[in-house]
Amino acid sequence: MNLPEKPFQYKMLIDGNWIESESKERYERKSPAHDVPVGEYPAATVEDVNNAVATAHRKFIEGQWPKMKGADRAKIIGRVGDLIRKNKEELGYIECLESGKPITQAIDEMVWAAGIWDYAATLPYHTYGDSYNTLGENMLAMTIREPLGVVGMITPWNFPLLIISQKLPFALAVGCTTVTKPAEITSGTTIKLHELLLQAGVPAGVANVVTGSGGVIGNCLSQHPDISMISFTGSTEVGKKVLQNAKSNVKKVELELGGKNPQLVFADCDFDAAVDAVVFGVFFNQGECCNSGSRLLIQDEIADEFVQAVIKKSKTVPIGDPLDPKTKVGAIVSESQFNTIMNYVKAGEKEGAELRLGGKQMITKTGRYIEPTIFDKVSPEMSIANDEIFGPVLSVLRFKTKEEAINIANDSIYGLSASVWTKDIDTAITLSRKLEAGTVWINTFMDGFPELCFGGYKESGLGRELGHFAVEEFTELKTILMHTGPRDYWWKQPEK
């Protein structure tokens, strides 16, 4: 694939209309791999956000989407999945250009996202409550689920289409209306997705998208009185600000935040499979992944041999132009993120960790690339063992016993995911129950299915995405209690 001759031109979607911002200002996104402009967007103002929210609120109160039969919403949501698959090459191309991720991976993500829409299309058939027929002869009750209202969605730059697809179809499935703010630097596929929503039959104004500064738009959405819920994916630091802002009207908040995810490898593991998973886990998407397996916890008796095997395999991973189908590791998304990663590399060396591989910028004509980097003999108190680096940097910590492994793994503010590598079923089950993580993989890493919920413990987030549990995030429960027959009076005036 070649670079575009000129940057793609995008507009915002409000009430079914493709519009510029009220200020008429626009901003440019350059490819992090090629340093050429690939997209231009409207810079939304607070007034634009207010207009989008007002539209979504009106469509929720007066429109047909929340009142529509579940079966009819299901058909529309299912069509979106089909359209994503039909347009996977274009969507993958845009995402590759804006994020720096490999083109083959980007197209695969489009297919994965389409599968999430397929699954979400089943949920309108299964959004229901309970009935209670055991409350007494004259009492009958039921609980019903109702859509929350307007949901504000704020998504990050690392998996733009995939992450909005973990939120938007579930909110639409239960009858909510939405305003989405994609990451400022990777907004293209989210805008294209909203084009597909209209093609599929989502009514105008039900799903709206605004582009621009997170400081302006994100703060406005999270404080807005007509937003009933914020669904945010991003850093823990910003997530805390969203939570603070949400107190303005006590809106519901769902947060998917950071991670410092351990892979616990025991001496009896499938050696080659575990090596491959460790390399994949830390270097996939350039390490710019909340689920990144950035901590390797390795049992002492195989540590030297295992680390050497990881280093050997890491040296063979193809790094380079993300438009090359052979590339496995692409460009770092921005200069700011590049500097953050390199500062952690310097910190690791200063703190006394042993740099076994990489740690340098690759010399290229354009873009920012970092060599796969591995630190061995890392101790738990080091910053590279605790902080989410969000780059291709692996920290290796060693342990002797299961108890020590659990203590090291859980000694973190994060609790998003973890994996356990062992052939011993007792070890696998024991650790999976004791690890403080929202997802625990056994003898695999970063596999997922739309049926399975996703989210974190501790400072990795609040609530869950995916699976039928997502229905709970976007609905309110209402109790309806009915009395039949004569009622016993609280006060009945005595007869004269």
Same-domain status, 280 and 379 = yes
CATH code: domain of residue 438: 3.40.309.10
Instruction: Please tell me the predicted confidence (pLDDT) of residue 487.
Output: 87
* Catalytic, out of 290, 436, 459, 473: 290
Same-domain status, 370 and 352 = yes
Task: Report the predicted TM-score, pTM, of the whole model to 2 decimal places.
Answer: 0.96
Q: What confidence category does residue 357 fall into, taking pLDDT thresholds of 50, 70 and 90?
A: very high
Q: What confidence category does residue 378 fall into, taking pLDDT thresholds of 50, 70 and 90?
A: very high
Has residue 228 been placed in a domain? Answer: yes
Has residue 495 been placed in a domain? Answer: no
151-186 pLDDT tens trace: 999 999 999 999 999 999 999 999 999 999 999 999
Has residue 237 been placed in a domain? Answer: yes
Has residue 1 been placed in a domain? Answer: no
Same-domain status, 251 and 360 = no
Hey, what amino acid is at 413? Answer: I
Q: With both helix axes pointing from N to C terminus, report the angle between 70-86 and 103-120 in degrees, rounded to the nearest 10.
A: 170
* Catalytic, out of 95, 256, 388, 436: 256
Same-domain status, 339 and 210 = no
DSSP state of 437: -
Q: What confidence category does residue 1 fall into, taking pLDDT thresholds of 50, 70 and 90?
A: confident
Same-domain status, 116 and 248 = yes
CATH code: domain of residue 153: 3.40.605.10
State the average pLDDT over residues 430-435: 97
For 26-55, letters b (16+ CB in 10 Å) and e give: bbebbbbbbeebbbebbbbbeebbebbbbb
Q: Record the tokens describing residue 241, joined without a space.
A: 């600000």
Question: How far is CA 277 from each of CA 38, 158, 358, rounded to the nearest angstrom?
Answer: 33, 20, 19
State the average pLDDT over residues 406-419: 98
Question: What DSSP element (H or E) covers 19?
Answer: strand 17-19
C-beta atoms surrounding 131 within 10 Å: 12
12-49 pLDDT tens trace: 999 999 999 999 999 999 999 999 999 999 999 999 99
Residue 305 C-alpha from the chain's centroid:
35
Question: What DSSP element (H or E) covers 471?
Answer: helix 470-473
Same-domain status, 66 and 202 = yes
Same-domain status, 62 and 174 = yes
Average pLDDT, the chain: 97
C-beta atoms surrounding 456 within 10 Å: 27
Q: Does residue 496 register a pLDDT over 80?
A: no
Residue 168: closest CA among 237, 76, 238: 76
Contacts of 252 (CB under 8 A, 6+ apart): 148, 228, 229, 230, 246, 473
Angle at 439 between CA 408 and CA 307, to 5 degrees: 45
Hey, what amino acid is at 352? Answer: G
State the Cα–Cα distance between residues 76 and 277, nearest whole angstrom: 37
Same-domain status, 37 and 172 = yes
286-318 pLDDT tens trace: 999 999 999 999 999 999 999 999 999 999 999
Question: How far is CA 223 from each of CA 24, 220, 226, 228, rounded to the nearest angstrom?
Answer: 24, 5, 9, 10
* Catalytic-residue membership of 290: yes
Q: Does residue 55 register a pLDDT over 80?
A: yes
* Segments forming the whole domain that contains residue 12: 8-257+460-480
Instruction: Please tell me the predicted confidence (pLDDT) of residue 212.
Output: 95
Q: DSSP alpha helices (H): ranges in 37-87?
A: 46-62, 70-86
Residue 187: closest CA among 102, 103, 288, 98: 98
State the Cα–Cα distance between residues 406 and 430, nearest whole angstrom: 10
Same-domain status, 430 and 400 = yes
Residue 261: closest CA among 127, 412, 106, 400: 412
Has residue 3 been placed in a domain? Answer: no
Has residue 317 been placed in a domain? Answer: yes
Q: Does residue 9 register a pLDDT over 80?
A: yes
Same-domain status, 244 and 298 = no
State the average pLDDT over residues 457-465: 97
336-352 pLDDT tens trace: 999 999 999 999 999 99
State the Cα–Cα distance between residues 289 and 260, nearest whole angstrom: 10
Has residue 496 been placed in a domain? Answer: no
Q: Does residue 495 register a pLDDT over 90?
A: no
Has residue 209 been placed in a domain? Answer: yes
Same-domain status, 468 and 366 = no
Q: What confidence category does residue 494 fall into, taking pLDDT thresholds of 50, 70 and 90?
A: confident
Instruction: Please tell me the predicted confidence (pLDDT) of residue 305.
Output: 98
Same-domain status, 212 and 277 = no
* Catalytic-residue membership of 256: yes
Q: Does residue 245 register a pLDDT over 90?
A: yes
105-143 pLDDT tens trace: 999 999 999 999 999 999 999 999 999 999 999 999 999
Q: Does residue 219 register a pLDDT over 80?
A: yes
The count of structural domains within the chain is 2
Q: Does residue 223 register a pLDDT over 80?
A: yes
